[in-house]
Amino acid sequence: MNINEIRKDFKILADPAYVYFDNAATSQRPEQVLEAMDAFSRTMNANPLRGLYEWSIKATDAYEDARAKTAAFVGADDPSEIVFVRNATEALNLVAFSYGLEFLKEGDEILITVMEHHSNILPWQMVCRKTGAVLKFIEPKEDGTITEEMLKEAVTEKTKLIGMGLVSNVLGVRNPVEKAAELVHKNGGVIVVDGAQSAPHMKTDVKAYGADFFSFSGHKMLGPMGIGGLYARHDLLEKMPPFLSGGEMIEYVKRDSATYAEVPHKFEAGTVNASGAVGLAAAIEYLENIGFDAIEEQEKKVTKIVYEGLKSLPHVHVYGNPDPEKHSGIVTFNIDGCHPHDISSVLDTEHIAIRAGHHCAQPLMEFMQEKLSMEFRATARASMYFYNTEEEAERFVEAVSKVRGWLGF
Amino acid sequence: MNINEIRKDFKILADPAYVYFDNAATSQRPEQVLEAMDAFSRTMNANPLRGLYEWSIKATDAYEDARAKTAAFVGADDPSEIVFVRNATEALNLVAFSYGLEFLKEGDEILITVMEHHSNILPWQMVCRKTGAVLKFIEPKEDGTITEEMLKEAVTEKTKLIGMGLVSNVLGVRNPVEKAAELVHKNGGVIVVDGAQSAPHMKTDVKAYGADFFSFSGHKMLGPMGIGGLYARHDLLEKMPPFLSGGEMIEYVKRDSATYAEVPHKFEAGTVNASGAVGLAAAIEYLENIGFDAIEEQEKKVTKIVYEGLKSLPHVHVYGNPDPEKHSGIVTFNIDGCHPHDISSVLDTEHIAIRAGHHCAQPLMEFMQEKLSMEFRATARASMYFYNTEEEAERFVEAVSKVRGWLGF
Amino acid sequence: MELKNLYREIVNEHNLHPVHKGDIEDPDMILNGVNPSCGDDIYLQLKFDENGNVSEGSFNGSGCAISQASADMMLDLIIGLPKEEALEKAEIFMGMVRGTVDEEKIEELDEAASLADIAHMPARVKCATLGWKTMQRMLRDGENEKK
Amino acid sequence: MELKNLYREIVNEHNLHPVHKGDIEDPDMILNGVNPSCGDDIYLQLKFDENGNVSEGSFNGSGCAISQASADMMLDLIIGLPKEEALEKAEIFMGMVRGTVDEEKIEELDEAASLADIAHMPARVKCATLGWKTMQRMLRDGENEKK
Ligand SMILES: Cc1ncc(COP(=O)(O)O)c(C=O)c1O
Ligand SMILES: Cc1ncc(COP(=O)(O)O)c(C=O)c1O
């Protein structure tokens, strides 16, 4: 992997003054992705699935090819196991509204971790409100680890659904979804693996995870905004009721009832985002061309510099696993006396983009504040991707070392 | 309006061999829209709403500017009355799940027309199933007209919600939403105006319609796939519960509960489709630059040729209003002995793209089959937009005149 | 073959003057097959002799020219065949429209082989296969709506 | 003003060495103001003399430097003023960060005028206005959490 060549594919990275370290929020898009979408619009733009003319047939092929490519990317058996959605949040809501409301009942337990993203918390709160199921939380150790023992203790025979991010967007830690899957399957339950933060950084294999559902967002893995995916086991999709309803997801519509199209179309109501899917497919192709080995290697190099650099600074607290290789490119930290928002604002004057705040993980912030005596219920987070360089990492550490000075200490 | 200049903006229209008359399914996108989206990705791509750095601030501005532009486009009072969604279908589902399930109850009546798109039927079937409300249908006259008298007869004091497409995607007729609004408001009810087919063709004015809700899709009005809008009165949005939940739509999240962000963010869960919104804003700008007067003038010229041309052909039946000016660019027809799918397939060999089938309006097909003795429960539909030319219309009529011959008659 | 030629040379004839459209007397099996997205809707009727060969067959219903013609050609081909062979023909037909069987095999379909180019028209594949799928459901899965 | 200079010249001082942070004795009004998206969380406390002038004031709580400094500067400005004038200052401050009032008016804010450039940082506007909004809710809307 030649990082200089790769960076040329990302026009927004051309200005060396800027350091973009907010990749866990959204990634940048290479020209290949933009070009694939533009080409769709310029040569075959039509409403897929229904047209009997050339452009619509091409558009349908492009859309279904994108589905097949996405299925292969996550390790699914069959393209029909991929439902295209807007983003990971919608994927998780789809599971909650369709599977959750239909198959969970009073007294069942839903188990999630305290480090879940709000998008993997609120839908389950909704399911619990409406069904009488109970939401339980598993808390990690201080460094973010969840062990098999902790899981065994948390899973009871009432646990019918586990929601677990494969990689935490705050700590970067990889969670033991395989063990969780095993335990919940013994109860005839299912596991919803939220892959929003893992899919960009590591080879996905839903089979190996034992995942019944797997959610992800295109925009976090070089794809466009507005497209994401839900992997779901075919037999689950078959028995789940539809969620959104309208055009394209039906067979017959009578005035008072309807029958539904086959899986996965049953879950894709209305005109599909075909150009978004084409963009996602181009992003997948781009990632596969580089290869996850090379991607991880580069991320580890950069993350190590950031992690160890911050660790060595006085007044800086770095969270999560002591091994920077276990951070999936994410380094979360705080600086004594400095509110994360002020940190991010002054770093912005150095053209360094990081995120600060609760990271859509307020329960985790609360947990960390208590366990780790954090000053504020918020952190600063640098998140790197394979197109980031070691020089950027060094510049970042250098800048962080000056933050306390800029803030008057 | 110089049609030749305009067509240069649409690369896909460059090949004069192709006639694209399936605009009611999806429109084409001008270069200006593609460029606006690419520019977003190349210069300010970031996750809006949360970042404290330059790109994210720019992205937030671009996203909220798009909202303001969209609000002005539909005639809303305030940008906060626009919720960005994927498409009109999602907009209608949002109203059904949030407003419908919360405010309708057993015995209430939902009134829709028989010519609604499936996306404005199925969500109401769902609401009726879950609340015990009753779904009623109003049938138009044979030419598609719904009169004030017919409305008065159909609306009872139990009618608490009316769902009505402003323009039918099959007949092109404009429905009397103003009268319907008046009637339902007397009951303290609301009207959901589906503007998916009107917004591309005429100046929208939600206030003049008396619309409480108004749904539309970007992809039908020069915008990208994957973005659409719901206009809703501010006070309704305030009192409606959230629908999808997760990141970006919250204030506080505790382990067992949450409070929600202000309107409209409460309804936009997960990372927003900012580049899609930017594309939609560019589409709106493009439409406004041409102006709806010029747009309608061109559409009427082309529609007249198609309508009168088809009318004059033996064995061809044209549906809807006898005045081609009342068709919003849509001409639906059948040919004796020829299944619409065969019509569309043979026209495709002439590089003419039209739609054939039930047009996501099966109840209307059933109604037309009965009232107008249609041979099949399907029609062929040519739908024109302002970039279509009179020559294309003539070529189309000429081709249709040969269809029966090609099919062996 | 260009689609217009396909219609002219084969489809139109079978659609406008089908040999097997209508009802047969006292069929052994009747099955309804539909394509919801197209509105194609046929009733396939078959009768068997003492050896289990298809002795008579017809179809009824409405749909596009391709669905009608394909059903008519199918009946041309399978009347007189043992069930197993009829099913084999259906396999070949399915393989043909999916593009997974070779020329030689396709020839076994006689006139129905002319629908090979449907493989390039995914939106019409369902029309072409409706009759064949209905036959498979009958003979392979034993579905029968006759009361 | 570039943000780093703004911190150096004004914000840091008010954040690290606030004059009005803490509790006052027996306040007449107490109100909590929050920015959910930032986690800023302050308690504003005010006391009035017999003429309705703000006689004492303080804030407590936690938040970013801008929210803290802005609240401290606000109290510098309004202590001693009649309620109406305090509210006028809040109006000016809101107008300043929205970019809708002119230079001359802004000068009436004394040191708080230095936060004018926050108008170009929409994400930080909420931090800067937290104290002011809380004061508006108190004096204009009469909200009071004191029991
Ligand atoms: C009248 C009408 N309503 C709703 C829709 C649904 O639009 P979308 O598929 O973009 O959600 C359509 C599009 O076909 C339509 O014509
Ligand atoms: C772990 C995790 N899950 C879910 C999401 C939600 O993704 P989106 O906002 O694209 O729906 C995110 C993104 O922030 C995330 O990091």
B220 alpha carbon – ligand 2 mean position (Å)? 29
Count up the domains in chain A and report the number: 2
Which chains are adjacent to chain C, needing at least 3 Cβ pairs under 8 Å?
A, B
- Residue at a domain's end among A235, A263, A288: A288
Here the CATH number for the domain that contains residue D10 is: 3.90.1010.10
Distance from C-alpha of A72 to C-alpha of B186, rounded to nearest angstrom = 55
For the residues of C47-58, what is the DSSP string, one character each? EE-TTSBEEEEE
A92 alpha carbon – ligand 2 mean position (Å)? 10
Both A276 and A300 in a single domain?
no
Could you tell me the residue range of the domain that residue C9 belongs to? Answer: 3-139
- Residue D144 lies inside a defined structural domain of this protein: no
- Under 8 Å between Cβ of D127 and D70: yes
Distance from C-alpha of A356 to C-alpha of A350, rounded to nearest angstrom = 16
Does the reported pTM lie above 0.90? yes
- Residue at a domain's end among A256, A288, A320: A288
Which chains are adjacent to chain A, needing at least 3 Cβ pairs under 8 Å?
B, C, D
Nearest by CB to residue B57, choosing from D36, D37, D121, is D121
Both A254 and A321 in a single domain?
no
Q: Which atom number of ligand 1 is nearest to the Cα of residue B90? A: 11
Both A278 and A130 in a single domain?
yes
- Residue B38 lies inside a defined structural domain of this protein: no
- Residue A270 lies inside a defined structural domain of this protein: yes
Q: For D17, phi and psi rounded to 5 degrees?
A: -130, 60
Min Cα separation A251/chain C (Å): 5
- Residue C73 lies inside a defined structural domain of this protein: yes
Distance from C-alpha of D108 to C-alpha of B43, rounded to nearest angstrom = 39
The gap from C-alpha B187 to its chain's centroid, in whole angstroms, comes to 27
pLDDT tens for chain B, 409 residues long, are: 899 999 999 999 999 999 999 999 999 999 999 999 999 999 999 999 878 899 999 999 999 999 999 999 999 999 999 999 999 999 999 999 999 999 999 999 999 999 999 999 999 999 999 999 999 999 999 999 999 999 999 999 999 999 999 999 999 999 999 999 999 999 999 999 999 999 999 999 999 999 999 999 999 999 999 999 999 999 999 999 999 999 999 999 999 999 999 999 999 999 999 999 999 999 999 999 999 999 999 999 999 999 999 999 999 999 999 999 999 999 999 999 999 999 999 999 999 999 999 999 999 999 999 999 999 999 999 999 999 999 999 999 999 999 999 999 9
A196 alpha carbon – ligand 2 mean position (Å)? 5
Count up the domains in chain C and report the number: 1
- Residue B29 lies inside a defined structural domain of this protein: no
pLDDT at residue A13 above 90? yes
Q: For A8, phi and psi rounded to 5 degrees?
A: -65, -25
Both B216 and B80 in a single domain?
yes
Query: pLDDT tens digits for A379-391?
Result: 999 999 999 999 9
Both B308 and B279 in a single domain?
no
Q: Which of residues 4 through 23 in chain A touch B, CB cutoff 8 A? A: 11-12, 18, 20, 22
Query: pLDDT tens digits for A302-321?
Result: 999 999 999 999 999 999 99
Contacts of A254 in chain B (CB under 8 A): 362-363
Could you tell me the residue range of the domain that residue A195 belongs to? Answer: 44-288
- Residue D20 lies inside a defined structural domain of this protein: yes
- Residue C11 lies inside a defined structural domain of this protein: yes
Q: What is the pLDDT of residue A294?
A: 98
Both A126 and A238 in a single domain?
yes
CA distances, D56 to each of B248, D31, D34, D42, D75 (Å) = 39, 15, 22, 17, 9
Both B173 and B319 in a single domain?
no
Contacts of B348 in chain C (CB under 8 A): 3
The residue to which tokens 């003979």 are assigned = C139
- Residue at a domain's end among B230, B260, B288: B288
- Residue A128 lies inside a defined structural domain of this protein: yes
Q: Within an 8 Å CB–CB cutoff, is residue A89 touching chain B?
A: yes
Question: Which residue has better confidence, A51 or A129?
Answer: A129
The answer to whether the CB atoms of A346 and D3 lie below 8 A apart is: yes
Here the CATH number for the domain that contains residue A374 is: 3.90.1150.10
pLDDT at residue D29 above 90? yes
Q: Which atom number of ligand 2 is nearest to the Cα of residue A228? A: 10
The residue to which tokens 């500017």 are assigned = B65
pLDDT tens for chain C, 147 residues long, are: 689 999 999 999 999 999 999 999 999 999 999 988 777 899 999 999 999 999 999 999 999 999 999 999 999 999 999 999 999 999 999 999 988 999 999 999 999 999 998 877 877 899 999 999 999 999 999 999 987
Both B134 and B75 in a single domain?
yes
- Residue D147 lies inside a defined structural domain of this protein: no
Among residues A235, A140, A99, A173, the alpha carbon closest in space to that of A110 is found at: A99
Which residue has a Cα nearest atom 7 of ligand 1? B88
- Residue B33 lies inside a defined structural domain of this protein: no
Both A130 and A156 in a single domain?
yes
Task: Determine the residue of chain D that is closest to B48 in CA distance.
Answer: D123
Min Cα separation D117/chain A (Å): 13
Pick the catalytic residue from B360, B382, B400, B403: B360
Pick the catalytic residue from A83, A272, A360, A399: A360
The answer to whether the CB atoms of D123 and B60 lie below 8 A apart is: yes
A194 lines ligand 2 (CB under 6 A): yes
- Residue D9 lies inside a defined structural domain of this protein: yes
Query: pLDDT tens digits for D50-68?
Result: 999 999 999 999 999 999 9
Q: Which residues pair with B140 in a beta bridge?
A: none
Q: Within an 8 Å CB–CB cutoff, is residue A378 touching chain D?
A: yes
Distance from C-alpha of A143 to C-alpha of A319, rounded to nearest angstrom = 7
A169 lines ligand 2 (CB under 6 A): yes
Nearest by CB to residue C7, choosing from B337, B377, B407, is B407
Both A235 and A301 in a single domain?
no
Distance from C-alpha of C11 to C-alpha of B281, rounded to nearest angstrom = 48
Q: Within an 8 Å CB–CB cutoff, is residue B54 touching chain D?
A: no
- Residue D36 lies inside a defined structural domain of this protein: yes
Both A162 and A248 in a single domain?
yes
Both A272 and A328 in a single domain?
no
For A369-387, what is the mean pLDDT? 96
Is B360 in the active site? yes
A196 lines ligand 2 (CB under 6 A): yes
Task: Determine the residue of chain B that is closest to A12 in CA distance.
Answer: B42
Here the CATH number for the domain that contains residue A133 is: 3.40.640.10
